[in-house]
């Protein structure tokens, strides 16, 4: 039973870590785009607007990657909740793992 709890705890820590990284990516996105747009306003150069689009799109894809990975986590939790520990299987006498 403690193996199952450890496994579910590990999955919960992974979810928390991915949520933190996703939030940090969004914060970096806002900071970078704001800085580039500030330079564009200061210099009145429209080419900076295109430069602001590049990190926004790149960080958008990175954030979508983390969100996509987050959809796999509930599946892992369901598998982990159903999984019996190795010790239980050994004492059941089954050879199948």
Q: What is the pLDDT of residues 14-55, one digit of tens each?
A: 888 888 888 888 898 899 888 888 888 888 877 777 888 888
Rounded CA-CA distance 65/63 in Å is: 5
Residue 84's pLDDT is 54
Rounded CA-CA distance 42/37 in Å is: 9
Classify residue 63: in a domain, yes or no: yes
The pTM of this model reads: 0.59
Rounded CA-CA distance 20/55 in Å is: 19
Give the total number of structural domains in the chain: 1
Range of the domain at 66: 2-92
């Amino acid at each position: 039973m403690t193996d199952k709890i450890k496994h579910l705890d590990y999955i919960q820590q992974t979810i928390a870590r991915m949520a933190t990284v996703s939030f940090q990516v969004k914060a970096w996105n806002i900071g970078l785009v704001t800085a580039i747009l500030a330079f564009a306003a200061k210099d009145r150069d429209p080419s900076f607007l295109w430069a602001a689009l590049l990190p926004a799109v790149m960080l958008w894809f990175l954030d979508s990657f983390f969100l996509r990975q987050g959809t796999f986590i509930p599946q892992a939790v369901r598998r982990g909740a159903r999984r019996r520990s190795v010790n239980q299987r050994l004492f059941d006498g089954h050879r199948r793992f």
